[in-house]
Amino acid sequence: MEEVFILIRGTLMMKWKSTYLFILSLGMIIFLTACGGESEQTGSDAEGNNSDGGSTGEEVRGVTDDEIIIGNIVAQSGPQAIYGQIAQGIQTYFDYVNENGGVHGRQLKLLAYDGEYTPAVEMQQAQRLVEEEEVFLMLGNDCTPCNTATKEYYEEQGVINMMLGSGAQQFYEPPSDFFFGSEIANYRIETRVFYDYAVNELDAGRIAIVYQNDDYGKEGYEAVEAVRDDYDAEVVTEVPFVANEEDYTTHAQKVKDADVDTVIMLSTPNPAARLKQEFHAIGLTDINYIVSSVGGNDTTMFELAGEDVWEGTYSAGSIPVPDAPEAEGNEAIETYLEQYTEAYPGENYSGVPQWGYAGAEVFVEALERAGEDLNYDTFREALYSFDNWTEGTYAGVTFSPENHYGLTTLFMTRAQNGTIESVTDLINYDPETGEINYE
């Protein structure tokens, strides 16, 4: 500015009239340019990123010519630390992809932070990953209350979340430009299938709903409330509980007093194990137990609850457990088992780590379909091209502009002889009609 001023001052000394007109014109140009600049930036932040997470230029947040940065927040400490295995599963598949050349020449970099299964901590980590690390998107974040707390922030920042470690309805209905798929079946869909299976396949007549009294557990409870009158069965007791309770004896006794033949339990792993131990201790061993896949479809439950206690427990899955008969000959499962056991020898390889690995498979497939010109628009269009994709470890993945669930295909499982085996063929849920179809 100083150089311009000196030039103008020199001109004034030589010819003030013409210079006056020049200054007036120059001022008008500067004013119009400023107004035009404001108009062009509508809907963009200071860095030029569109409000939908896109880019006004060639640069896309978290993407370079040779790298894509991905964020992940899961509980790596505390009572829910088992979910840290989600990050291990993601990292295992990323390492496998990177060793084989990456995706369109780009290596995948995972930044996995500890959310402690606490909304306030989750928000801090989200801000760090978005504003400091500038990740391309978030993959596999766990904890329904945590994802609820950060949902608006991600939408404001234009950051896509995909394959959440949460199946809560709010992330998929109505469809959002920033939330695509879950690593596990939607809680409402899964619980609808549980109820249908209990009544039509297990001849349930008197049912207890035992649910975690938080955003996660209430999702399944509300699904039962919506359909209970459509079935020839009765919900005779509803038992809420808090995940970090120390004593579950009163909950178990309430179920026993209700004289039920089936328990549908909507719980994370640790309380599910503790509750099943209490039921077992008071003699409730001859009824049906169906436990949500979050807390039941994992061989570690034999260790948490005890082999005798967990034996016979029903659940649901979208991925075959590696040791189950149906996994034999499944190339994708065999690759997972080889890669994960090499990366984390001696650790549990069923259930939770599979969620992370399978979610990463979906993400990478979308990157492949998006092509070299990766941005948020090409990435979304790539997701919409998934139509019952079965080349990964999931039973089937589908997206469309109207369907952001990703997983609407699952199968019922049962804990038997130290592993988790499927007891049905595939079960398909239609989000538009609410119909449940058994193959």
CA distance 209 to 213: 12
At residue 113, does pLDDT exceed 50?
Answer: yes
Mean pLDDT of the 191-200 span: 95
pLDDT at residue 295, rounded to an integer? 81
The answer to whether 131 and 149 are in contact (CB under 8 A) is no
The predicted pLDDT at position 119 comes to 96
Cα(85)–Cα(356) distance, integer angstroms: 7
Residue 5: pLDDT band by 50, 70, 90 thresholds?
Answer: very low
Range in 5-9, 291-295, 339-343, 419-423 the model is least confident about = 5-9
Is 41 a residue whose pLDDT tops 50?
no
Structural contact between residues 145 and 218, judged by C-beta atoms closer than 8 angstroms: no
Of 47-51, 98-102, 402-406, 435-439, give the range with the top mean pLDDT: 98-102
Question: Over 60: is that where the pLDDT of 29 sits?
Answer: no
Q: Which domains does the chain have, with CATH numbers?
A: 67-185+330-406 (3.40.50.2300), 188-317+409-438 (3.40.50.2300)
Q: Is the pLDDT at 73 greater than 70, yes or no?
A: yes
Q: By the 8 A CB rule, do 362 and 162 touch?
A: yes
Q: Which of 427, 429, 433 is nearest to 201 (CA)?
A: 427
Mean pLDDT of 107-125: 97
Q: Which two tokens stand for residue 21?
A: 């007109």
- CA–CA gap between residue 182 and residue 317 (Å, rounded): 13
Q: Under DSSP, is residue 296 helix (H, G, I), strand (E, B) or coil?
A: helix
CB distance 165 to 141 below 8 Å = yes
Q: Does 180 have pLDDT greater than 70?
A: yes
For the cut 50, the answer to whether the pLDDT of residue 66 exceeds it is yes
Q: Of 301, 307, 337, give the one whose Cα is nearest residue 322.
A: 337
pLDDT tens, residue by residue, 219-253 = 889 999 988 889 999 999 999 999 888 899 999 99
Dist CA 74 CA 125 (whole Å): 10
Higher per-residue pLDDT: 109 or 329: 109
Question: 403-406 and 160-164: which strand pairing?
Answer: unpaired
Mean pLDDT of 89-98: 98
Is residue 6 pLDDT above 50, yes or no?
no
pLDDT at 431: 83
pLDDT of residue 297: 84
| Distance separating alpha carbons of residues 235 and 224, to the nearest angstrom | 9
Higher pLDDT pick, 203 / 408: 203
Query: In this predicted model, what pLDDT tens digit does every residue of 361-414 receive, in sequence order?
Result: 999 999 999 999 999 999 999 999 999 999 999 999 999 999 999 998 999 999
pLDDT surpassing 70 at residue 299:
yes
Confidence of residue 346 (pLDDT cuts 50, 70, 90): very high
HSE toward the beta carbon, residue 99, CA cutoff 13 A = 7
The region of weakest confidence among 200-209, 253-262, 276-285, 288-297 is 288-297
Residue 31 has pLDDT above 80, yes or no: no
> Which two structure tokens, joined as six digits, stand for 82?
């088992």
Distance, CA of 14 to CA of 116 (rounded, Å): 72
Bigger pLDDT: 127 vs 168: 127
Q: Quick check: 63 pLDDT over 90?
A: yes
Q: Cis omega before residue 79 (within 30°)?
A: no
Backbone angles phi, psi at 427, to 5 degrees: -120, 125
Q: What pLDDT score does 401 carry? A: 95
Q: 128: which strand partners?
A: none
Count the neighbouring beta carbons within 10 Å of the beta carbon of residue 417: 9
Residue 69 has pLDDT above 60, yes or no: yes
The two three-digit tokens of residue 259, written as one number: 């004289």
Query: What's the rounded Cα separation, in Å, for the pair 109 and 164?
Result: 18
Q: According to the model, what pLDDT value does residue 58 have?
A: 60
Regarding predicted confidence, which is higher, 264 or 37? 264
Four-residue CA torsion sign, 263, 269, 271, 273: positive
What separation, in Å, do the N-terminal and C-terminal C-alpha atoms of the chain show? Answer: 74
What is the total residue count of the chain?
Answer: 439
